[in-house]
Amino acid sequence: MDTIRLDIQGMTCASCSTRVERVLRATPGVTAASVNLALETATVATEGPGLEALVEAVRDAGYDASEHVPGAPAEDPALTRSGGLVAVAGVLAGALMLPMFGVPLSPWVQLALAVPAQGIALWRFGPPAWGALKHRTANMDTLVVLGTTAAFALSLVNFEASLTHAGHGMLYFESAATISAFVLFGKWLEARARGRTTEAVRELLELRPATARVVRDGTDVEVPAESVGRGQIVRVLPGERVPVDGSVTEGRSSLDESLITGESVPVERGPGSAVIGGSINGNGTLLVETTASGGDTALARIAALVEEALASKAPIQALVDRVAAVFVPVVLAIAVATFVGWVAAGAGVQAALMTGVAVLVVACPCALGLATPAALVAGMGSAARAGIFIRDADALETLASVRTLAFDKTGTLTVGQPELRTPLDPDVLRLAVAVQRQSAHPLARAFQRAAPDDVPAATEVTEHPGEGVSGLVEGHRIRLGTAGFLERHGLVLPAADVPADLTPVWVAVDDAVRGVVGVGDALRDGVPEAIARVRSLGLEAVLISGDRQSVADAIGARAGISKVFGEARPESKVEALRGLDGPVGMVGDGVNDAPALAAADVGIAMGSGSQAAIASAPVTLTRTDPALVPAAVDIGRRTRAVIRQNLFWAFAYNVVAIPLAVSGWLTPMVAAGAMAMSSVTVVANALRLRLWTPARVDGP
């Protein structure tokens, strides 16, 4: 199955996006389709149709489509052209409104101004309205075209009579022109605001340098960054952006990774250190061996992740889509009923028609369609800038609802660099290190750091997640891990005095236990403050660890967590989660956390953790900063709150505005202004989320 992203042109309201989505889903071979009005994109899962077939389907529906280009340009030429169109429409409408302020205009002058104004309306809104009509449906453009055309046509009918009455009370050219001008102005403001919501992706993509300086035979050769192959050496001069992912082979410098990881403090990098493409080099020159370039870099993957997340739909959007599907036809029916009712009441055809036009114009569903996606784009974009990557809208909704946060210990609450705190016989140590040489587990790294020089090779090495590791070394069967792991193999553990706050690791050679070593790990800076912040959000914090209960209790006490589950194997971590007050979020970083991260209502993976952990979690933190955990919940809650506010005002606007228009309290001009500002208000409210930054959590 392939996934194809399309840029959609011509959508103006929720009815449009619903129509495009329905057309794409009806295309043979398409298994799923999702259209985002705020981003003007479509994501299509297809088992047959290619790009050309999907573009053709969208064009048949009255819109235009093209292959998605990641990251919109900083300045959209179409937006600039729209600004010019708005200016012209505004001047024409303003001139036609002069008689309202006592400035006389002859009917012929009004007609001369009204013709180009109506031409603008038909040129801008006519094609999509006609496309909708061909498919026996209606959208916002339909309402605008009907409203402006009705006012313009009625003025033409009255034009001859207006020549003898100076046009007073008989011409409605200003209504047609102001409707068009207000709607165009509102759509222009809305487009500018929507562009600002996508700045997170644009900022990420703009970090990618176009060229790289590859070292070949001692000479620097400038080549396109995407063409750099794995293993090639790239020179990065002071002040330049790193063009590739790689490892430093020579030189030392500090790198600014803030726009990638959210970490404001530059980090030191030297030989052997990994560097991220897009980060800014400090004062030193670096030689970097390439591990990834172009679309394979961490930056490119992050940008793709953000775009996919922004294109997703929140669960509540399904309700909006159902409403949008019937909204415009219902409004048309209300407008017709209003006209008939006013004529029946003796108001006259002209007054009834203008009242019906006001109903058509005021009831545009733009605000309704933008309420949810605009908030999602702004909120998830701000989270990305802070180093919090949320996979989709479902994850954000769940994140906002969590009541309990469960934390892993090693690598999450602790630094993840355990040390051997008690002695072990050197001969036993070299055997223990041998079976752990290839392991990435934090406890294995503690043994590796304490390794002697003469470590032998190991074979038949098997890792037992949450328990230990075994293998053959110099003809001996080596097992090391938890007490339960060794006991399950029939080994008898001697008495040992390991401090309660240290993790005991037992080592057995063949059929005899040869020793036990205590391993300790330091608490991360800022953990107690982060846990306090979790509690201030009304959440319960829980620690679930594979360590023995006494070690887990000691770490929990230092972190400020009272509810602690120790000696939890990967499967028992899942059982522990099921007994917590949900929805539950799980925070972890290791391979043994992957089942719990997947089983939790929402998993939060530390970016420095294993690939299994990151793949299992819908939320990823780009740095191991404990303050980002409560921050993720905070931005989730704020985004959900803005979505609810937007939907309330979008629905409330129509609940109030339509009856006012039906009763004659709104003129078409006022209706057009109110409709335009409703969309702008919703997007402006969403843009408040761009100001969000994680609450500062200071360590001791």
Q: How far is CA 110 from CA 99, 144, 150, 168, 227, in A?
A: 10, 20, 16, 12, 61
Task: Give the whole-angstrom CA distance, residue 510 versus residue 512.
Answer: 6
Are the C-beta atoms of 302 and 260 separated by less than 8 Å?
yes
| DSSP β-ladder status, 584-588 and 404-407 | parallel
At residue 274, what are phi and psi to the nearest 5 degrees?
-85, 140
Over the Cα atoms of the chain, what is R_g? 32
In the chain, the amino acid numbered 130 is: W
How many helices (H) and strands (E) the chain has is answered by 24, 26
In the chain, what is the greatest distance between 2 CA atoms, to the nearest angstrom?
Answer: 116
Residue 277: name the closest of 292, 258, 262 by CA: 292
Task: Give the whole-angstrom CA distance, residue 656 versus residue 654.
Answer: 5
Per-residue buried b or exposed e for 349-381, using 16+ beta carbons within 10 Å of the residue's own CB: eeebbbbbbbbbbbbbbbbbbbbbbbbbbbbbb
Are the C-beta atoms of 436 and 539 separated by less than 8 Å?
no
Task: Give the whole-angstrom CA distance, residue 304 versus residue 137.
Answer: 34
Task: Give the whole-angstrom CA distance, residue 84 versus residue 82.
Answer: 5
Are the C-beta atoms of 381 and 563 separated by less than 8 Å?
no
Does residue 51 come out as left (phi exceeding 0), alpha (psi in the -120 to 50 range) or beta?
alpha
Lookup result for tokens 């997947």 = 598
Task: Give the whole-angstrom CA distance, residue 493 versus residue 367.
Answer: 69
Strand, coil or helix: 66:
strand
Task: Give the whole-angstrom CA distance, residue 459 versus residue 445.
Answer: 18
Strand, coil or helix: 459:
strand
At residue 602, what are phi and psi to the nearest 5 degrees?
-150, 125
Cα angle 171, 172, 175; round to 5: 160
- Pull the structure tokens for residue 452: 């002697």
Are the C-beta atoms of 407 and 587 separated by less than 8 Å?
yes
Kindly list the catalytic residues: 408
Are the C-beta atoms of 204 and 306 separated by less than 8 Å?
yes
Task: Give Cα 103 to chain centroid, integer Å.
Answer: 52
Are the C-beta atoms of 442 and 624 separated by less than 8 Å?
no
Which ranges of 524-665 does DSSP label H, i.e. alpha helix?
527-536, 549-559, 570-578, 594-599, 611-616, 628-662
Per-residue buried b or exposed e for 684-697, using 16+ beta carbons within 10 Å of the residue's own CB: ebbbebbebebeeb
User: What residues have CB less than 8 Å from 111, skipping those under 6 apart?
Assistant: 159, 173
Residue 12: name the closest of 330, 371, 366, 377 by CA: 366
- Pull the structure tokens for residue 351: 């007054």
